[in-house]
Amino acid sequence: MNQLLEELRAGIWAVWNRRWLALGIAWGICLLGWLAVAMIPNRYESETRLFVQLDDVLAEQIGIGAASRARDIDRIRQTLISSVNLEKVVNTTRIGDGVNSPTELEAAIAQLTRDIEVVSEGENVFEITASSGRRDLSDAENAELAQTIAQRMIDIFREENLGGARGDMEESIEFLNQQLAQREEQLAEAEQRRLSFEAANPELVGGAQAIATQLSQARSELRSVEADLAAAQSALAGLQGQLASTPRTLVTPGGGGSRASLAQAEANLASLRARGLTPEHPDIVAAQRTVAALREQVAAAGGQDVGGTPNPAYTSLQSMLLERQSNVQSLQSRAAALGAEIASITASQAREPGAAAEATRISRDYDVLRQQYDQLLQDREELRLRGQVENERSAVQFEVVDPPTTPRSPAAPNRPLLLAAVLVLGLGAGGGTAFALSKLGSTFATASQLERNLGLPVIGTISHTFTEAGRELRAKRLKYFAAGVGGLGVLFVVLIAVELIQRTSVA
């Protein structure tokens, strides 16, 4: 412990013995350091916070989910300090006053990238910090510029969220309108080609599949007609047999005979014509045949009319026979027409395979274009509805929680702390230099050091005796040294006061 105290005394003596050197070094370092600190421009920061609201019921109903909107906000946050947006800030603030070339613009954008920071606080709050420490501006101008930059970033955030989204929506709708116009023209051309082909080849409408369907339907209908025809022919044969076994007239006393029946049939025919029925009407046709049959009977009798009355059952059967014959003829005509149609379809299918393929291609192209047109139309309407919801309901709503204010004190540097650090560094460097030089010399501060280093006992020490003039000179030098140390402290206090006054003037 005694040795430690002795070393401390020796160190203090060594520094005190070279106190003027230590004071000079301290003054030099402090002056240079304080000058360097004074050259550092003050940096002012302006902060603002934004609150983003992502919940909206109507937006959820049309498919704008919270996750989608959160991705949009995250994208805006990441691109908020992009070169394009920072160029807007440069051009709309005082930063752009000294920018005259692309190189200077790039340098300004690079510096602005370091001066702006966007941080997420939780899920819905964003903090934007803008700083300014330009050497060519005063403290008040730097503080105002920081506030202007922060406000401009809020404007850009609003433009990216509302104006940018609206612009993207309008561009998307315009693109869909152009695509719809092109599809509409192509669809009109395809429809015209299909109509022309159908007019030229009506039997090939719809392509090979449609032809096969038509052929299958025609054959199925032909089989049905043939079945009906067979049934009608069988019923006709049975009716003919029944008619053959039925007498034409019934012999009655005082009957009118065949001539009376003919007169009655002609009267019935005249009555039907009087009703306005056409000659092709089945009743007219049946009555004419009845009249013709009775005339043949009258002619066969040779004018000798046999007494009796017409048999009603025979007349009814004869009418039914005529109707059945007409039905059989109609079915035969229909079967012949279907056979001819089947033959025509088969011949067309075998004769024109290329035309059938062309019909298939035309139909396929038309269907594809129609589906594309309908899908584009649906997409445009959905996009238009989504744009209206985003614009009118503002699916992503935000508000400025803390508006950017003009900073009243610089955020950096901490000048009082730097001034104090320079003072401590100067004093430490001066004392350290004096102590180091004492170690390089051959003098000893105490008798104990001399005894340890030489290994010889020290009998005694001689004190330094001053004369009256020497004491006056020593006192004067002590005053000068104290003035030097005090001046250094006074200069430090003055610099601190100047710094506080400057901060007060900015506020």
Q: Write out the DSSP string of 327-378.
A: HHHHHHHHHHHHHHHHHHHHHHHHH-HHHHHHHHHHHHHHHHHHHHHHHHHH
DSSP class of residue 53 equals E
Residues of the chain with CATH 3.30.1890: 44-177+394-402
Phi-psi region of 458 (alpha: psi -120 to 50; beta: other; left: phi over 0): beta
- Return the pLDDT at 454: 67
- Return the pLDDT at 253: 43
Question: Quick one: which of 315, 317, 290 has its CA closest to 235?
Answer: 317
Residues of the chain with CATH 1.10.287: 207-366
311 within 8 A of 292, measured Cβ to Cβ: no
Give SS3 for 231. Answer: helix
Q: What is the pLDDT along the chain (507 residues), one digit of tens a residue?
A: 566 676 666 667 777 778 888 889 999 999 999 999 888 888 888 888 888 765 554 444 444 445 555 565 666 666 677 888 888 888 888 888 878 888 888 888 888 888 888 887 766 777 888 888 888 888 788 888 888 888 888 888 777 665 444 555 666 677 777 887 887 888 888 888 777 776 766 655 555 566 677 778 888 888 888 888 888 888 888 877 776 666 666 545 444 556 667 777 777 877 777 777 777 877 788 888 888 887 887 777 655 544 456 667 777 777 787 888 888 888 888 888 888 887 877 766 655 556 666 767 777 777 888 888 888 787 777 767 666 655 554 445 667 888 888 887 788 788 889 999 999 999 999 888 887 877 776 666 566 666 666 677 777 676 767 678 877 887 888 898 899 989 999 999 999 988 888 777 655
- Return the pLDDT at 341: 80
- Residue 117 β-bridge partners: 129
The H or E element containing residue 421 is helix 415-440
- Return the pLDDT at 54: 56
- Residue 309 β-bridge partners: 250
Rounded Cα gap, residues 346 and 283, in angstroms: 40
Side-chain half-sphere exposure of 390, counting CA atoms within 13 A: 24
CATH class of 44-177+394-402: alpha beta
Show the tokens assigned to 62: 């049309």
53 within 8 A of 393, measured Cβ to Cβ: no
| C-alpha R_g of the chain | 60
CATH class of 207-366: mainly alpha
Give SS3 for 117. Answer: strand
* Distance separating the N- and C-terminal Cα atoms of the chain: 55
The structure tokens 């430090």 sit at: 492
